[in-house]
Structure 1
């Protein structure tokens, strides 16, 4: 009887162990199988940025099917970049034609030689109210985090009873020296325009400014940019998706050449990389991160409209 009980217990224990092993082994095998699938999927793309981007998208949580769709857009963007992104005479090239992208626009206040950016910068902006209807919302730039000072602003106003010119006075105090001498955006503000503004270039040209600056080795410049339109061609499309996906994929691997992915669209403009990064903050949360890549993917795949 004792032996029978021992055998029965042993049998139950063996079954329990088998069940326990099965419960853990199947998910582990499934995870391993999925990892192999994903590795094979990444390897199916060309060595370099394509593999980096594919791996990055999978790490973000996109499925293989979703990543395939986004990679198709990415590869299309690679091809289009060679033809369009550097062509200043493209038909819809925003800064070189009568075209204005239908998304919100911003003003960037830039310090040259940021290594000497110390103290206080007071910038006065103004524009003809027939073209610019509002300037406001001044805030520190996320590309200058840790060095930018405190931003204060008057908000838009009209001088006395003259409603033909709109003004905004912005002061950035307690500025700190940046480690390098490059130009950096220290402050941004939004700008609202009227139907009389016909192009991106015209928008910038209607904004006037002067300034005082306690830094002797730096000057102030002003530029404009549109939300999400990295190459300033008047659309948010696969070209912009290509740039932001490449940038974040490289950055995710600590690649030294990440910024190079954004080095198009703002040719000839002061602080082009900063302007591209500010434009790329598509979800407008004051930082450039994975969430922007996810939203770009939804926009270019037609799931979300800006």
Structure 2
């Protein structure tokens, strides 16, 4: 039995779908099972990292855990709570979805969780993906309405990766022993800036997309006005500054090492998701 945490998120849901398609026994952990949309045969359980008893039930009888923590100041608490339950239940393997640059600063959201995974006595694999290609879906409503898409990262480049590649690596790490003890930094095949990604979308759509540069002080005001917690706001701003300063301008062979094939390029992702950007 494999437990997928974050089972309704971008990566967790894709890992769940792929694991289920392979015929593996799989359990999905979510705060609200009534809202979960899962493949047939998937067991769905309720759980919350602030409820240890719910986590104990979730990991009962489980051999492997895909650990996906919500990004932000709560990441450390979530990671440690799930790992404690997993160790107590005798879970053999954990695959943690971390983030590129998790080892770059002492205060990174994922740093403590990574350390706990390595020291936890279970077999482990760490996945450190770069920016998700799927983040571009946040622009879809503006593109459809012909409104400006906000640019918060300037011309800084990142190794934008297709979330399906991340999920495929996660599945292989969960079902195969050959990835144990590995840390994979996962990127796409090329460095792309916001303008680069917009240009790929424009080429696919056959029209111009409006954009607007948003300074970080304005980003802060917008986040606070939306009701976002102040600690979360400052954490996200630090991440944006790292990107703007070139900290994510990294390409690796992580996908190829894990899967034996090159990573999917952003243009292919765009074509597969073009309907989201088209007005019906």
- Is the structural similarity TM-score above 0.5? no
| Structure showing greater Rg | 1
Q: Which has the higher strand share?
A: 1
How would you bin the TM-score normalised by the shorter chain? under 0.3
- Normalised to the residue count of structure 1, the TM-score between the two structures is 0.23
Larger relative CO (CA 8 A, sep 6+): 1 or 2? 1
